[in-house]
Structure 1
Amino acid sequence: MEKTNFIDYIRVFCKSGHGGAGSRHFARTKFNPKAGPDGGDGGRGGHIILRGNAQLWTLLHLRYYKNVIASDGQGGDKNLCTGADGQDIIIEVPLGTVAFDEETGEKEIEILHDGQQEIWLKGGRGGLGNKHFATATNQAPEYAQPGEDGVEGWKYLELKVLADVGLVGFPNAGKSTLLSVITAAKPKIADYAFTTITPQLGMVPYRDNRSFCIADLPGIIEGAAEGKGLGHRFLRHIERNSVLLFLIPADSQDHRKEFEILLNELEEYNPEMLQKDFVIAVSKSDMLDDELKAAIRAEMPSEYPLVFISSVLQQGLTELKDLLWQTLNAGK
C-alpha cells in the first residue's frame, strides 16, 4: 500500500492525573502552640482534553503519541494552602474526530466545531485537608483525605470526514476523475481498482460565489460491510455526508444491480444511512445515445434523481451541481 499522510485511526493509552493529598498540618504560633489544624486541600489531577482545530485534516500528528499521561496534583500545605493542580494535556484534533473507549466500545466525545473543547479523562479530585474534619468534639483531627485516582485505559480516536457530499461507487467508477474536474483537488487517477485508498476532499464552486464540499471516498466492493476490501475504514466516512452521490458507470453490466449492491452495503453497515438524500449519476455517458439513456433511466429507481454526466467531455456537470445544491438546501 502506498504511503500516505492521511491517518484516520489512532490507538493511545491515556491516564489523567492523580489528585494531591490533603495536608494533616497543625498550626503552631509563638503565642499559641496549639492553634489547631490548618492543613490545605490537595490539587486536582491534570485533565486530558480534546480540542477541535479546523486547520487539521488528519490524525497524523498523533501517530507516535502512544502514551498520554497528565501530571498529578500537588499535596496541600500548611496555612490552608491548596496544592497546585496537575497540568492539563490538550490534544488538538481535526473536526469530525470521535473518541471511543477500547474496552467498552462506547463513544465518549465527538468534536465537530473549531475550538470545541471537551474533557476526555477527568483528573482525580484533590483530598481535603484536616481543617475540614475539625469538630467541637474533635478539634485536632489527624485525618486528611488522600487524592482520588485519575482515569486510565486504552482509547482510540477515529476521524470521520466532514463533507456535504460523499461520492459512492465501485472502484473505477470515475469518482476521482469527477472530483478533479469539478474541484481544484488533484486525486490520483489510474485504470485499476482502489486507486483512491484515502478520502480526498474538494470544494465545488457554485453560482454567486457559493460552494460546497465533496469527498471522493475509496470504492465499495460487495462485502465491504463485513470488512472486505477497505471495509469499515471507508464506510465510516460516509456517516457524516449530508448527500450521497452514487456514481454508476455507463459501461456497467447491470446498472440497477450495482446500485442495489451499494445500497445494501450501506444498510448492512448502518441502516440510518438510508435516511440520507441520494443522487444517482451515470458516469462515462458520452458513450450512450438517447435510446440507451432512456433504457437506463427506466431500469433505475424512480424515487431518486438521476443525471447523466461525462467528466472527460464535461457534459452534464452543471446539471449535476444544480441537483446537488438543491438537494443540500432542500427544506432550509
Structure 2
Amino acid sequence: MQAIATKELRSRMRGNRAFTVLTIYLLLLSCLVVAIYWFTERTVAEVNQFGRGNLPPPVGKILFYAVTLVELLLIAPLAPSFSSSAIVGERERQTFDLVMTTPIQPRDFVLGKLVSSLSYVLLLVFVALPVQVLALLFGGLTLTEVLLGFWILIVAIVFYASSSLFFSAVMRTTTTAAIFSYLTVAMSLIGALFTFLIGSVVLGGMGGFGFFFAGGPGGEDSPRSWAIYLALFLISLSPLTAGGATAIALNSGEGTFAFRLAEDGSIPGYPNGIWMLSPWVVYTAVYLGLSALLVWAAMRYVRPTVARNPRHPSRPPALEPETETP
C-alpha cells in the first residue's frame, strides 16, 4: 500500500496543477470571508442607524457556516476527479495486469489508490482549517460546532472517494466511471433537497418540526415516533441536511450525540420526549459503513481470476496427462 500511495502522490504533486488548485481554492475562501464580514458589518450598521429590520446572527457563526458550505461544494467534485480514474486508468494504459503480477496484493493496491486520492483532497480541508477557526475570534461559535463541521467534511470526502474508487474498479472506461461518480455526488448533495422535503412533510406537514420551521406543536395529524425516526434518518443521508440539523440542535442547547424531541416532532428538548440520535451520528454511521463496503467490493473486483478445480475449489485445475500419438 505504501509503495502505491507514494508513487501516486509523487506523480500528482510533481506538476504545477496541484499548487495552482490549492492557491485558487484559498483565494476563493479568503474573498468569501472578506465579503461576508463586510456585508454583516454593513447590515448591523444600518439596523443600528435606522432601526429597520433585525440584527443578523453573530459574524463568527455566519462565517463558519458559509465557509464550510462553500468548502463542501468546492471539494465534492474534486474527490471523484482523483479517484474515478485510479484503477480503470491502469486498465486503459494496459498496466493493470503488470501490477497484478507483482507481489502487491489487491488489498494493498486498492488501499494505496484510496490513500493517494484522499491525501490531496484532505490537504485542501486542512489548509482551510485556519479560515474556519478564524470564526471563533468573532464569537457566537463553539469549538464543538467547528469540530463537527470539520468531521462532516472528512466523512463526505471519504465516501465520495470510496464510491469513485468502486466505480473505477467496476467500469470499463474512465468516462463511465467518472459519470457514475459525479452522479453519486449529485445525489448526495442535490438529493438533500428531496430528503429535506420528505422529512419535513412527515414531521407535521411543514409545521411540526421546530428545527427547520417556526410552526408550533403539531395537532392531531402530528407524526408518530416511528415517522419521526424515519424523517430524521432521511435528513441524515446528506452532509448538507445532516450538518444543518445538527447545527440547529446544538444552537437549541441540545447534547452533542443525542437529544429529546416531542412526540409531535415540534419541541426540541422536550422533557418527556423521545430520544433521538444526533443527525451527524447517523450520517457518520451510514457514510462510513457504505465506504467500507464499497472499498471491500473494489478489492473483490480487482482480484485476479484464477481457474479453479471444480472438485477442489482451493486447488488449481489438474493438468491432463499427455497422450502419446502412435
User: Bigger relative contact order, structure 1 or 2, given CA contacts below 8 A and separation 6+?
Assistant: 2
Band of TM-score, shorter chain: under 0.3
TM-score normalized by the length of structure 2 = 0.25
TM-score normalized by the length of structure 1 = 0.25
Higher helix share: 2
